[in-house]
């Protein structure tokens, strides 16, 4: 429930009551309104909004809820509603800064992280209401990070914000349990709409993505629609995808072992098994496969 504050006409001093003064009580501070007669609720609303902004503009937003109760004394209630907490995960600084400017007026941004491991840590330390996650995150891709987040904290809503419009990525995202899928080429207002929808418990998909999914379902053999059963390295386990991504990002066996907190021999075992399973022979081929399946980005 949001915090509330009230305007009373009967709790002020006798002297103030005699001269017809009203007072707004907010955090033990009294704001007097010098008017003898009825004060219109919309004026109270405007004052309430200003005081909310004065108190803590970063944490609260004005709900627009104003009510008048007449029980022998007048009371106006104006509600302060806590802003929903949003966490951003994108390794492109300009994109992250643009998203921050877009969202900070309506939501409380709890942080911006640039890789999947930092995303997991941020969610564990301060769970947001909504996490906006890019797929191509370093160290741990956005889909596998989302899978781990939802396993540990199912109450967190996740919106994938990505350049990938391919149906294989979309279906994998929703199979994991994300609440929304928005393309980066969409207008900013679409992301705001997506956040509001998932906060209501709904699912949001960019219209372009939805059309692509319908097209694939209706015309599965249409030229240009991929018929490959794979996509996002679905034929690998989560651990194998972690190893593959880190190797494809150019990390040594020692560095991969340190990130995953396992032995070097374990990393070598996984790499060998991945190459055998995929029919690949070199690290370059592994990297090409990782790029094609969205585990890493070449941008």
7-39 pLDDT tens trace? 433 333 333 333 333 334 343 333 333 333 334
Class of CATH domain 238-292? mainly alpha
The mean of the pLDDT values for the chain is 75
**In the chain, where are the structural domains located?**
3-82, 85-218, 238-292
Question: Residue 6 has what pLDDT?
Answer: 41
Sign of CA dihedral 39, 44, 50, 54: positive
Lowest mean pLDDT among 38-42, 116-120, 184-188: 38-42
pLDDT, position 50: 52
Contact 158, 133 (CB under 8 A): yes
Question: Residues 116, 142: contact at Cβ < 8 Å?
Answer: yes
Mean pLDDT of 139-162: 95
pTM value is 0.70
Question: pLDDT at residue 137 above 80?
Answer: yes
158: nearest Cα among 184, 182, 178: 178
Give CA–CA dist 26/58, Å, rounded: 17
CATH class name, domain 85-218:
alpha beta
Q: Which of 29-38, 168-177, 204-213 has the highest mean pLDDT?
A: 168-177
pLDDT, greater one: 65 or 239: 239
DSSP state of 230: -
Q: Give 220-262 pLDDT, tens digit per residue.
A: 555 443 334 345 666 788 899 999 999 999 999 999 999 999 9
Question: Which distant-in-sequence residues (6+ apart) come within 8 Å of 294 by Cβ?
Answer: 135, 136, 141, 143, 164, 169, 231, 232
Give residue-wise pLDDT tens across range 94-107: 889 999 999 988 99
């Amino acid at each position: 429930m949001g915090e509330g504050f009230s305007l009373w006409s009967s709790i002020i001093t006798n002297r103030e009551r005699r001269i017809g003064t009203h007072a707004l009580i907010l955090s033990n501070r009294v704001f007097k309104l010098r008017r003898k007669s009825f004060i219109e609720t919309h004026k109270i609303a405007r004052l309430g909004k200003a005081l909310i902004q004065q108190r803590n503009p970063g944490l609260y937003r004005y709900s627009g809820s104003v009510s008048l109760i007449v029980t022998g004394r007048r009371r106006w209630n104006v509600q302060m509603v806590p802003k929903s907490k949003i966490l951003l995960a994108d390794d492109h600084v300009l994109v992250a800064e643009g998203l921050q400017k877009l969202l900070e007026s309506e939501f409380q941004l709890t942080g911006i992280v640039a890789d999947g491991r930092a995303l997991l840590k941020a969610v564990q330390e301060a769970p947001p209401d909504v996490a906006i996650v890019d797929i191509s995150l370093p160290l741990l891709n956005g889909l596998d990070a989302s899978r781990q987040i939802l396993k540990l904290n199912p109450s967190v809503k996740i919106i994938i914000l990505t350049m990938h419009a391919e149906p294989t990525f979309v279906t994998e995202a929703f199979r994991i349990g994300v609440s929304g899928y928005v393309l980066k080429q969409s207008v900013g207002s679409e992301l705001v709409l997506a956040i509001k929808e998932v906060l209501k418990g709904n699912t949001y998909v960019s219209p372009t993505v939805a059309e692509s999914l319908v097209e694939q379902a209706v015309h599965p053999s249409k030229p240009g629609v991929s018929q490959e059963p794979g996509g996002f390295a679905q034929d690998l386990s989560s651990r194998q995808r972690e190893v593959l991504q880190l190797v494809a990002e150019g990390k040594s066996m020692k560095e991969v072992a340190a990130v995953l907190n396992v032995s070097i021999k374990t990393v070598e075992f996984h790499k060998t098994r991945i190459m055998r399973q995929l029919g690949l022979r070199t690290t370059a081929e592994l990297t090409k496969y990782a790029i094609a399946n969205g585990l890493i980005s070449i941008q």
